[in-house]
């Protein structure tokens, strides 16, 4: 077992760890800590072979996981600075408290080794631990991560869409646009701390931050998650570089020729007047008739909810749906919106399903715009599409407009109260075929309610425009239009058959067809 010498900061109790035995020599020599030190050393050697941590650059840190210790209080193992990563040994590691105090320092080694020094990345690692409750953080100097920030030297983000490996990034799927913030490099690593923290705050869905001409910081819930995502990020950077070398645009769904969009803009006077970088579309009453939702989707969900719950009751997905609904109903009961509480799981499958069916049907009748309902509906509809019992429906002008906008380089996103899965199903199984190739991403009510301005501010941050006015939002709902306008977006109201009447003397432009834009 490696011997560690105590640093001055370990002498005075100043954190929960120092009073509950986590900082004791016995614990530091325990199996969990030992295995974590072994793992960091092993990963350093592995990442050296990948070219991520050559020349002593880069670093890795992992929390010491134990089920009996809250994650926020777990100790942290960090690799040192200035040590050849391919020769890294477990005894070279530093051990820190959850607050970042160095508890023990590795013993010095003889010449020509340098005196022990904790990684210069320590303050940046701590931001990921504190702001994202990470379980591990990887800092890579991989060449791919450097060049990816240099292709577009003024870009504040790296963006890529419609690549299989995007599915390896937490919270993302194939059809999602992956957005990674880019911060500017500094002469000394520690000087990046504030800008990295600002990027983490500004991009709540991001699990990485790129440093221009330098590398990348990647975090995950565990070392496996961080490692998996780091591998996927490097793959995507490499793909973007190769696509760029081939003259192809990695950031668009079709990965078409770079510059093709501008040529089309110059040649087409009708589309050159579109000055927006992004278009954000509502679905119900905008791309799709309200009647499709009320007369097709809602009845299908209502008629199949019991069958779906019975058939999938024991699956993880359905149990998560049930817990989300149970939590929602508990809040509804407290607010007097419901008198049908969902019994606990031990009450029996039949009783739980009966209560769920009653609540879901009531929510559908009330057209509740809540995540718990929309998530379950999306899973029911997925089965319907798989069985060819459902087909998505969009207005005739929609596919034509999507194709035109896509060709001119405008990125199109969807924002609907329906779940992201439900949105993908409509456009992926539409009466005009799979339209998802024209879409860069999907937003639902997990980002915020559609009648709140802050939801549109969050979307503005996610799609990466310089200012909100570069986004055009199309909706049929006046209150949504007001909220989006308050957030600075340009807004046009969609007037379609069956839509609710608009207030008199409202201030918004209206269109009856996307082709009129």
Any idea how long the chain is? 517
| Residue 476 annotated as lining a ligand binding site | yes
Cβ atoms of 186 and 194 within 8 Å: the answer is: no
- Side-chain-side CA neighbours of 443 within 13 Å: the count stands at 23
319 near 353, Cβ under 8 Å?
A: no
Residue 279: HSE in the Cβ half-sphere, 13 Å Cα cutoff: 27
Q: How far apart are CA 342 and CA 38, in angstroms?
A: 47
118 known member of a binding site: no
- Indicate which residue of 164, 184, 191, 389 is catalytic: 164
The span from the CA of 444 to the CA of 282, in Å, is 10
232 is in an annotated binding site: no
* Spatial distance between the Cα atoms of 58 and 125, rounded to a whole number of angstroms: 12
**Known binder of ligand: residue 214?**
yes
Please state, in angstroms and as integers, the Cα–Cα distance from residue 321 to each residue in 359, 366, 371, 389, 506, following that order: 13, 19, 10, 22, 39
Check whether 121 is labelled as a binding-site residue: yes
Residue 141 is labelled as binding a ligand: yes
490 an active-site residue?
no
**272 annotated to a ligand binding site:** no
CB 276 within 8 A of CB 352: no
Largest Cα separation within the chain, whole Å, is 83
DSSP 417-456: SS-HHHHHHHHHTBTTB--GGG--EEE-GGG--TT-HHHH
- 417 labeled part of a ligand binding site: yes
Question: Does 191 carry a binding-site annotation?
Answer: no
Distance between CA atoms of residues 497 and 397, nearest Å:
14
- Burial of 328 from C-beta contacts in 10 A (0-12 / 13-18 / 19+): buried
15 known ligand binder? no
Q: Which residues fall in the annotated binding site for Mg(2+)?
A: 282, 284, 476
Q: Which residues fall in the annotated binding site for substrate?
A: 121, 416-417, 450
Q: Which residues fall in the annotated binding site?
A: 121, 139, 141, 214, 282, 284, 416-417, 450, 476
- The set of catalytic residues is 164
Q: Which residues fall in the annotated binding site for Zn(2+)?
A: 139, 141, 214
């Amino acid at each position: 077992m490696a011997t560690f010498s105590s640093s001055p900061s370990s002498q005075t109790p100043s954190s929960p760890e120092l009073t509950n035995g986590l900082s004791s020599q016995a614990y530091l020599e325990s199996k969990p800590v030992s295995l974590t030190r072994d793992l960091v050393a092993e990963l350093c050697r592995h990442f050296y072979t990948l070219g991520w941590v050559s020349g002593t650059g880069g670093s890795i840190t992992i929390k010491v996981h134990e089920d009996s210790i809250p994650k926020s209080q777990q100790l942290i193992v960090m690799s040192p600075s200035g040590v050849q990563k391919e020769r890294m040994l477990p005894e070279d590691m530093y051990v820190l408290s959850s607050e970042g105090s160095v508890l023990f320092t590795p013993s010095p080694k003889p010449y020509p080794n340098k005196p022990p020094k904790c990684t210069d990345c320590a303050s940046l690692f701590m931001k990921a631990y504190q702001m994202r409750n990470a379980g591990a953080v990887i800092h890579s100097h991989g060449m791919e991560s450097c060049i990816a920030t240099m292709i577009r030297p003024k870009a504040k983000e790296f963006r890529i869409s419609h690549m299989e490996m995007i599915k390896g990034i937490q919270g993302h799927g194939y059809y999602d646009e992956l957005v990674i913030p880019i911060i500017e490099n500094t002469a000394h690593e520690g000087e990046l701390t504030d800008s990295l923290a600002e990027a983490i705050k500004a991009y709540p869905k991001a699990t990485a931050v790129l440093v221009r001409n330098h590398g990348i910081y990647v975090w995950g819930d565990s070392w496996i998650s961080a490692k998996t995502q780091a591998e996927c990020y490097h793959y995507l950077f490499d793909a973007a570089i190769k696509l760029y070398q081939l003259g192809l645009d990695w950031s668009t769904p079709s990965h078409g020729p770079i510059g093709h969009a501008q040529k089309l803009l110059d040649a087409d006077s009708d589309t050159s007047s579109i000055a927006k970088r992004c278009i954000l579309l509502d679905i119900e009453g905008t791309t799709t008739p309200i009647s499709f939702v009320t007369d097709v989707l809602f009845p299908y969900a209502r008629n199949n909810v019991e069958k779906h719950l019975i058939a999938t009751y024991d699956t993880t997905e359905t149990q998560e749906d049930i817990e989300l609904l149970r939590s929602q109903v508990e809040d509804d009961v407290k607010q007097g919106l419901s008198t049908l509480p969902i019994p606990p799981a031990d009450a029996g499958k039949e009783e739980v399903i009966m209560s769920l069916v009653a609540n879901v049907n009531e929510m559908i009748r009330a057209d509740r715009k809540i995540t718990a309902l929309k998530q379950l509906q999306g899973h029911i509809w997925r089965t319907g599409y798989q069985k060819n019992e459902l087909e998505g429906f969009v207005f005739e002008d929609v596919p034509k407009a999507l194709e035109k906008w896509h060709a001119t380089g405008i990125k199109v996103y969807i924002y609907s109260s329906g779940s992201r899965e439900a949105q993908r199903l409509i456009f992926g199984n539409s009466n005009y075929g799979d339209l998802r190739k024209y879409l860069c991403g999907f937003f639902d009510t997990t980002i915020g309610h559609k009648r709140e301005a802050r939801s549109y501010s969050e979307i503005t941050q996610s799609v990466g425009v310089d200012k909100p006015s570069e986004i055009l939002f199309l909706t049929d709902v006046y209150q949504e239009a007001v909220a989006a306008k308050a957030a600075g977006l340009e807004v046009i109201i969609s007037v379609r058959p069956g839509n609710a009447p608009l207030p008199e003397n409202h201030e918004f432009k209206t269109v009856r067809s996307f082709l009129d834009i």
